[in-house]
Structure 1
Amino acid sequence: MKIELAYGRTGLELSVPDTVRATVVRKDTLPVPADPARVIEDALKAPVAARPLEEAAKAAKSACILICDITRPVPNHLFLRPIIERLTKSGVPLSGITVLVATGLHRPNLGEELAELVGDPWVLENVACVNHYALNDEDHVMLGETPTRKVPVGIDRRFVEADIRIATGLVEPHFMAGYSGGRKVIAPGVAHHTTIRTFHSARFMEDPLATSCNLQGNPLHEAQLEIVRMLGGTIYGLNTVLDEERNLIFTSFGEIIESHAAAVEFVRDSIEVNVGRKFPVVVTSAAGYPLDRTYYQTVKGMVTPIDILGDDGTLIIVSECGEGIGSAEFREAQKRLVELGPEAFLQTLLKKDFADIDEWQTEMQLKPMRVGRIVLVAPALSEEDRAVTGVTCRDDVDEALREVLAETSAREIAVIPEGPYVVPFHRAV
């Protein structure tokens, strides 16, 4: 049996031996609209729980539009110009419009990468397209603390002070915040580093409700909602949903919390897949380009399938990792994991109010490590990078599978071609 896995830009074929039964876990197929531009247009014309954008913009002199960074395959080319043209028709000057890349604590997207991200030369030529820098104190307005969990709140002043504020993004499973998009594009997207490092600390990360597809009682989600409310006024959200082939299948637009909830409601039944059992071997991916450019992002693909991985099972994950391990800070966290071991590493985190930058991803790697063994297929990783992954590394996915099958005598496996964009679970039916 041949199964195509998401890997880089080209994909990677997995060959499953005839003696092995493979359960392939995919999203439910949803209809693909013939005209994606019309989907955007219809959403902009019918805002959820908010007045029309054109009406809100009549007295405005400035606008800030947030977009996700290069790690998310958001179809910015479809909606940025239509949004900007609506603003200018209502009197907002082009010189007053900023497209702000919500980098969080990721690296900035510059040059050709920024052009790829924006996806529309007209936008680049006519409005300011800039990156958020979480470590620049002067770029932020400090708003106090969230009422419930006392998270210090700092948000990029270009967003805070704009007359019209719009957050755009992709609604997909997120292994900490439940679902991406909406409020998450603001925080951590354009938040101060103390905000990001607080709700990525162990008191949030170790909460069992901070998990994929869960919004009820999720401490990150609740903190993000409080931050939105602290900002006050109307914040618009434009939320996109893509299928496995990256086709736009749904868009919601309107008040940021309500429009995000509408997108989650649309996609939830497709993304959350009950397979009814656990497996001794699970083969998955890091979702291909752009998510699998680094090992840092690859961890997401390790976490989302653990509900169907049997105790002491083996998780095989493929990832291109063409940019290597990730940030220098993440490398240091991974080194500490390897040197200290999982339990001692976790104990160092529990003592902190502020997480060190990017160490939260290492903390998330502990979750699948508690369940079973991880085998990473990322031939582009250097030996130096492999040494700090803390997992078993192999160069070929077919050889890795054969090796695991020989060691375990397993004859049933689960395969998740799209990786963390699909969340399998094993609830009995």
Structure 2
Amino acid sequence: MNVTNPLGSKYDPLVLPEHTYCIHMQAPATLANVGEAILDSFEHPIASRSLRAIAQEKLANNPSAKAAIIISDNTRPVPYKGEEGILLPILETLFSVGYQAKNIVILIATGTHRAMSRAEIAKMVDERVLSSGVAIINHDGRDESQLVYLGDSSRGTRIKVNKLYVEADLKIATGLVESHFMAGASGGRKAVCPGIIGEGSTFVFHGVPLMADPAARDLNLEGNPVHLESLEVATFVGVDFLVNVTLDHAFHVTGVFSGDLNEAHLAAVAKISETLKVPAPKAADIVVTHGGFVGMNHYQCAKCAVACLGVLKKDGYLVIIADTTDEGNVVGGINYRTTLALLKLQGAKGFLRTIGSSDWTFLPEQWQVQQWAKVFDRIDQDHMLFYSPSLDEIWWPGLPGINAKRFLSEKDQKNPGPDCFTKVVSGAIAYIEEQTKRKAKDMDIVYISDGPYVIPYTNDSLEK
């Protein structure tokens, strides 16, 4: 069967065995008039006074009131431009009640990600916002001069937060709500924690115990310590108004959830829960998936790998395709590369013993490698075949799995064409046939068309 390439129209369709079971979530309905829905959510928010009323009160208390607006970085397809953009309406609301551009700052919630370039910001943010005179600043969690220490959480997090946000009279958080493989769901409180906290403040939030907790999983908030820690920190720091959206497959807005930090976020999570969990008839010998929009580097591709565990048999095979286009590094940061190489050398169990040792010094980004360890506890490293046209070859010696570019000719390896993913997937399945001495027609094969954005499960899978 031919299936539309999930990584863009410039690539040819994928060719899969005819009996492949395709998993896809039911497409949610988009909003008829997104612009009106956004403004309506400001005026009639969830468990909150209107954005206008809150903003006016801050100005009444301080005529020179400052406002800080947290936005996501470009690893999330949040609509910050165009007719469905949420950022310009926020600014226009603030301007309409008397805020001056010089007293407003837009903070990019980089968390531990790299800073965005000016060109990347221009590509992500509405040009009317760019020309408004409002400063747009990358948060830097490693720069202590940008941070303010506010106290400790109940779990011991030393809460250091971006100074500009702390000093703002009006605090607004924005984001996208989708399934998240650690925190249960993105959006809401995550704009603050980890979005604008210090790197050292991630040590508990993304520490080994919280990452290893069974409740820290996709689409689960109940008893999820990662969610609870993030919410505690964000509540402690304060958010006056939340603006979150949900999106469909084409990144069109399906819902706008504004208002109270927790209640508006919970409403958005309830919305996505209606469509994200998808049953499959049985676990598969081979799972084919993709990195999606978020899979702009190897680090982010851990999400699609973990998402497939609900339909991946023990010792099965996993084929991942991705379009890693990150301008900074298509693999990830130095700490990620270092700990990933350690995982490759030690294996999943050895790696978890190492980072769980009292002698181990916590490294930022080890949490993402801990998620990869979940995958390689299920399958051998050489049972994962990974391909991206742009992945830097020099790092393959430190990456677990098999570089699936081997299924391309030398010419195609150097100059991948629109059929590169088609050839890789077909070649990977032929390779698995050779390794297992079984024909593809005799194996259960699943294709996850939504990649990291769906949560497939089966009655006989190891995870639900």
Structure 1 residues 11 and 66: alpha-carbon distance in aligned structure 2, compared to 1, 3 A threshold: farther
Aligned equivalent of 1:111: 118
Matches within 5 A, 1:10-409: 10=10, 13-18=13-18, 21-58=19-56, 59-60=58-59, 61-77=65-81, 78-147=85-154, 149-232=155-238, 234-287=239-292, 289=293, 291-323=294-326, 324-351=330-357, 355-372=362-379, 373-395=383-405, 396-408=424-436, 409=438
User: Percent of aligned positions with the same letter in both sequences?
Assistant: 30
Task: Return the alpha-carbon distance in structure 2 between the equivalents of residues 328 and 251 of structure 1.
Answer: 37
Is the alpha carbon distance of 1:393 and 1:179 closer, same or farther for their aligned partners in structure 2, counting shifts above 3 Å? same
**Aligned-residue CA RMSD (Å):** 1.9
Report what 2:6 is aligned to: 6
The offset of 1:262, in angstroms, is 0.6
Shift of residue 198, structure 1, vs aligned partner? 2.3
Could you tell me whether the CA contact under 8 Å between 2:321 and 2:387 is conserved in 1?
A: yes
Could you tell me whether the CA contact under 8 Å between 2:122 and 2:130 is conserved in 1?
no
Cα distance, 1:156 vs structure 2 = 0.9
CA 1:209/1:124 → structure 2, altered by over 3 Å: closer, same or farther? Answer: farther
Instruction: Measure the CA separation in 2 of the matches of 1:235 and 1:31.
Output: 29
Alignment-mate amino acid for residue 163 of structure 1:
D
TM-score, normalized by length of structure 2?
A: 0.87
Return 112-121 or 158-167, whichever deviates more.
Answer: 112-121
Structure 2: gaps of 5 or more residues: 60-64, 406-423
Give the C-alpha shift of residue 184 in structure 1. 0.7
Q: What are the superposed Cα offsets for residues 308-354 of structure 1, whole Å, 9 maximum, x if unpaired?
A: 11111111110122342111221111222223333222222112686
Residues 194-236 of structure 1, C-alpha deviations (whole Å, 9 max, x = no match): 111321111111111111111111111010111122124x521
Structure-1-length-normalised TM-score: 0.94
Sort the Cα spacing of 1:419 and 1:12 in 2 relative to 1 into closer, same or farther, 3 A.
Answer: farther
Partner of 1:404: helix, strand, or coil? helix
Q: Provide the secondary structure at the position in 2 that maps to 1:208.
A: coil
Change (3 A) 1:36 1:405: farther
Unaligned segments of structure 1, at least 5 residues: none
CA deviation vs aligned residue, 1:29-72 (integer Å, no higher than 9, x gap): 22122322222122222111110111111133111110111111
What residue identity is the alignment partner of 2:241? Y
Instruction: Report the secondary structure of 2:373's partner residue.
Output: helix
Letter in 2 for 1:375: L
1:417 aligns with 2:449: yes
Aligned pairs, how many?
423
Give, as a single letter, the amino acid of the residue that structure 2 aligns with 1:126: G
